[in-house]
């Protein structure tokens, strides 16, 4: 698959087979995340892989309890992404520029995971809607840290969909806004 095809192939999968994900493929997704760019190369992230079925189900049940994201339970692997305190330069930059660089960085790293997953024939879904405190407790994530996102990973059951996106003219301008 070439890169343009990969971009089109990746979609948010909300239905998964029970087939487990090979450890090697999980490692490849994590390596893709580890190699992602970040402001000042600060890499202010930790990836917590949840693959123990019982613990994973408890996380999935917690996510599902909020009503949406019931599908998270089906995914055989979840990757929780914790925001780490950035290095001084990034903190300073974030303050001066009024931009949350660590969160931007985590968005990029998470997309690396999803693209690598798609390349390996896996499905994924980025999940941002969950009871953060509840899941932090389940995963022993310190209370003073933020849990930014969870990525669901597994062999997808849902079929490829057409992408629903804004028109090119709405989102792309050349030279002037
Ligand atoms: C930061 C972020 C948070 C998201 N949170 C959720 C979520 O909680 N539940 C969900 O089903 N999808 C979630 N998504 C997936 C988006 O809904 C999805 O990317 C968007 O609808 C485009 O569809 P596609 O990924 O299939 O191309 C999230 C995506 C991002 C980038």
| Run of H or E residues at 97 | helix 88-97
CB 83 within 8 A of CB 102: yes
Domains of the chain and any CATH numbers: 31-156 (3.40.109.10)
Does the pTM surpass 0.85? The reply is yes
**Ligand 1 centroid to 99 CA: how many Å?**
22
Partners of 123 in the beta sheet?
154
Pocket residue to mutate for ligand 1, from 14, 127, 131, 163, most atoms within 8 A of Cβ: 127
CA of 84 to the centre of ligand 1 (A): 23
From first to last of its 177 residues, the chain has per-residue pLDDT tens of 899 999 999 999 999 999 999 999 999 999 999 999 999 999 999 999 999 999 999 999 999 999 889 999 999 999 999 999 999 999 999 999 999 999 999 999 999 999 999 999 999 999 999 999 999 999 999 999 999 999 999 999 999 999 999 999 999 999 999
* Dist. CA 11 → ligand 1 center (Å): 9
């Amino acid at each position: 698959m070439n890169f343009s095809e990969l971009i089109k192939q990746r979609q948010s999968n909300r239905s998964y087979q029970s087939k487990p994900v090979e450890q090697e493929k999980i490692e490849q997704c994590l390596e893709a995340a580890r190699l992602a760019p970040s402001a000042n190369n600060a890499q202010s992230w930790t990836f917590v892989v949840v693959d123990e079925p019982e613990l994973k189900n408890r996380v999935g049940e917690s996510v599902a309890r909020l009503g949406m994201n019931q599908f998270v339970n089906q995914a055989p692997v979840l990757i929780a992404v914790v925001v780490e305190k950035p290095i001084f330069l990034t903190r300073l930059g974030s303050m001066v520029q009024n931009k949350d660089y660590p969160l931007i960085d985590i968005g990029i790293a998470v997309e690396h995971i999803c693209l690598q997953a798609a390349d390996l024939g896996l499905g994924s879904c980025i999940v941002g809607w969950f009871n953060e405190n509840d899941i932090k407790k389940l995963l022993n994530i310190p209370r003073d840290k933020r849990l930014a996102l969870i990525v669901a990973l597994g062999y997808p059951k849902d079929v490829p969909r057409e992408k629903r996106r804004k028109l090119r003219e709405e989102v792309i301008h050349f030279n002037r806004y």
